Amino acid sequence: MAVFPKIVGTLEQSMQAATLRHQVIANNLANVNVPGFQASEVSFEDRLKQALDGPAASPQLQGITTDPRHIPIPAVATAPGPVLPMVVPVTNGVMRQDGNNVDPEAEMAKLAANQLWYEALVRSVSDEFNRLRTVITEGRK
């Protein structure tokens, strides 16, 4: 059952990143009128993709056969280690005269997109547990 931790672990990490992103966006919006405030954003998706795709981060488990008549066991990727979201400063924002680079309209759009993303992740976790429940109960209710 090596697939279970990979799927649920990846969804959990993504939900944590979405929660942090919500907090960062809320902080940016709270400081929209503070002179000199620099907006931040969360870096996560690219790092997660590298961890899931990278050969160094996900070594292969290979089955060994002792007889040429044995059925070969295909290689299975192991789950990557935890990928933590990072808060990084926004470098491509438009700077106002007071030194603040928060764009309220862009932040609200990011907030709406992040909310939809979080709801999709929650639905995915729920679906995964429903599939497991179906397997455990053999399809009976």
Instruction: List average pLDDT for each run of 10 residues in the chain, which is 141 residues long.
Output: 69 94 97 94 90 61 77 66 88 85 95 97 93 84 65
Closest CA to 15 of 133, 124, 128: 124
pLDDT given at position 14: 94
Task: Determine the distance from the C-alpha atom of residue 54 to the mean position of all C-alpha atoms in its chain, rounded to a whole number.
Answer: 16
Output the pTM of the full model.
Answer: 0.76
Q: Give residue for tokens 């400063």.
A: 89
- In b/e form, how buried is each residue of 4-13, taking b as 16+ CB within 10 angstroms? eebebebbeb
pLDDT given at position 104: 94
Domain segments of the chain as ranges: 3-136
Residue 12 · residue 124 · CB < 8 Å = no
pLDDT given at position 80: 60
Closest CA to 24 of 98, 112, 87, 99: 87
- In b/e form, how buried is each residue of 46-64, taking b as 16+ CB within 10 angstroms? eebeebeeeeeebeeeeee
pLDDT given at position 94: 80
> Could you give the CA distance from residue 97 to residue 17 in angstroms, rounded to a whole number?
32
pLDDT given at position 68: 84
pLDDT given at position 7: 83
> Could you give the CA distance from residue 30 to residue 139 in angstroms, rounded to a whole number?
49
